[in-house]
Amino acid sequence: MADAAPIPLGLIESLRSARRICVFSGAGMSAESGVPTFRDALTGLWERFDAERLATPEAFHRDPSLVWGWYEWRRMKMRLAQPHAGHRALAGLERRAAQLTVITQNVDDLHERAGNTNVLHLHGSLEATRCVRCAAPFALPADIPQEPEGGRRIEPPRCASCGGRVRPGVVWFGESLPMPILQPAHDAAAACDVWITVGTSGLVYPAAELPLVAARAGATLVQINPLPTPLDAHYDHVLSGTAAQCLPELFAQERDRASLQPGRS
């Protein structure tokens, strides 16, 4: 983190004494693993669309092979990507410290592949596909899809029970977030001592709401982003840098401080 400001001592102390920590991640968390953001994912076949016109139930209904092909291409990108040092730092935190809840808007599985076990996917998961008609889960083949750069149309598979089309397991624009995920995310926010937002502009509900729940409950709020966000004023600490830079540095400094003060837990 050569160019970033030093990490404030007060933040290190808050982390050291925290019993419950929440990490709230968005697309920026996966950027350094090479997972394309929505805008980057609109290449080739899809470049004349915008994400709001592909990631909707109406788009899937109108042109299922266009939408399914886009998601298969994104799933390939995700499967080829590897967790980075920031993901590994969060897995290390879970192994050695406080109760950690990762609340992510990402539909990839990079937090899990790094080793985190308590991950709430607010916007679903690329792998959790299901039938549009009867909602039966559909098991995708285990091997990595081989999709050409630029993309292609692919007819979605059919449900074995009812013959309905299989759809991506993500929350599309216009759909509500699943309560079995949103409720525990809300509870974790209300109960945490430290809240760390990383790689999200945090403007859309519930992105905008959850950090405020944590703030009202008295948590220390930390923002990690290379760019300013409109919500920075709500945060106690703003670390200007990337996920792969700031997260390892933050927890390394916390560990160093712990080893200097062996009397404290």
Ligand X SMILES: NC(=O)c1ccc[n+]([C@@H]2O[C@H](COP(=O)([O-])OP(=O)(O)OC[C@H]3O[C@@H](n4cnc5c(N)ncnc54)[C@H](O)[C@@H]3O)[C@@H](O)[C@H]2O)c1
Please report, as ranges, the residues that interact with ligand X according to CB under 6 A. Answer: 26-28, 30-32, 35, 37-38, 105-108, 123, 198-201, 224-227, 229, 242-243
- Decide which of ligand X, Zn ion, none touches 164; Cβ closer than 5 to 8 Å per partner kind: Zn ion
- Decide which of ligand X, Zn ion, none touches 226; Cβ closer than 5 to 8 Å per partner kind: ligand X
* Side-chain half-sphere CA neighbours of 191 within 13 A: 12
Under rule CB under 5 A, residue 159 binds Zn ion: yes
Which residues face 239 on adjacent strands? Answer: 224
Residue with smaller CB distance to Zn ion, 111 or 167: 167
Q: How far is the CB of 264 from ligand X (least distance, A)?
A: 30
Residue 131 annotated as binding site: yes
| Catalytic residue check, 123 | yes
Residue with smaller CB distance to ligand X, 192 or 198: 198
Angle between helices 9-17 and 243-260 (to 10 degrees): 70
Q: How far is the CB of 32 from ligand X (least distance, A)?
A: 5
Burial of 173 (0-12, 13-18, 19+ CB in 10 A): middle
Residue 83 annotated as binding site: no
Q: How far is the CB of 129 from Zn ion (least distance, A)?
A: 11
Residue 134 annotated as binding site: yes
Amino acid at 54: L
Q: Which residues are catalytic?
A: 123
